[in-house]
Amino acid sequence: MFRTAILRSAAAASRTAMRPSAAAGRFAIAPASRTGSFVPKTVAWQAVRCYASGSSLEKTEVYERIKQLLSGFDKVNDPSNITESAHFANDLGLDSLDTVEVVMAIEEEFSIEIPDKDADTIHSVEKAVEYIVSQPDAN
C-alpha cells in the first residue's frame, strides 16, 4: 500500500510541472518507469563519514606519561621507585583506594574509560602500560 502511494505520487510529479523548492535542489525525482520502481536520485554532493586510525601510542611514551602522573601523586612513598615493573601496593606504598584514584587519573590522562572489570586487574605500572597500549582510542 505504501509503495503504491509512492508510485502514484512520483507519477503525478513527473506529469505536472512543479515549482522549484529547496528540496528540488537536493533531490531529483526519477520518473515512473515501466517496472514501477521509485528511486530518488541524489543530485547534491553527499557527505561521507570516513574514519582513520590514528597512530597508536608507543610503550615508552605511555610509560613516561604514567611515570609523570605517579610522581605527581602525593601518596607515592618514593618517586625513584617508579619503574616499568613497579607494583602500586608493594613498591609504591599505595592502598586499594589509592590504586582506584591512580586508575581514574590514568583514565583522565589518556581520555579513555576503563571498565571496572579491567580496572580491577591494573595493579602495576606494567599492567597499566599494556592496557593503554591495547586501547586504540587512547590519546
Respond yes or no: is residue 116 known to be catalytic.
Answer: no
What does the alpha-carbon distance between residue 82 and residue 87 come to, in Å, rounded to a whole number? 9
What does the alpha-carbon distance between residue 111 and residue 134 come to, in Å, rounded to a whole number? 14
Among residues 74, 78, 95, 116, which one is catalytic? 95
Rg (CA), the chain: 30
Name 9's Cβ contacts closer than 8 Å, sequence gap at least 6: none
34: helix, coil or strand?
Answer: coil
Cell numbers 503525478: residue = 12
**Do 99 and 123 form a contact (C-beta atoms < 8 A)?**
yes
Residue 111: alpha-carbon gap to chain centroid:
10
Q: Which residues are catalytic?
A: 95
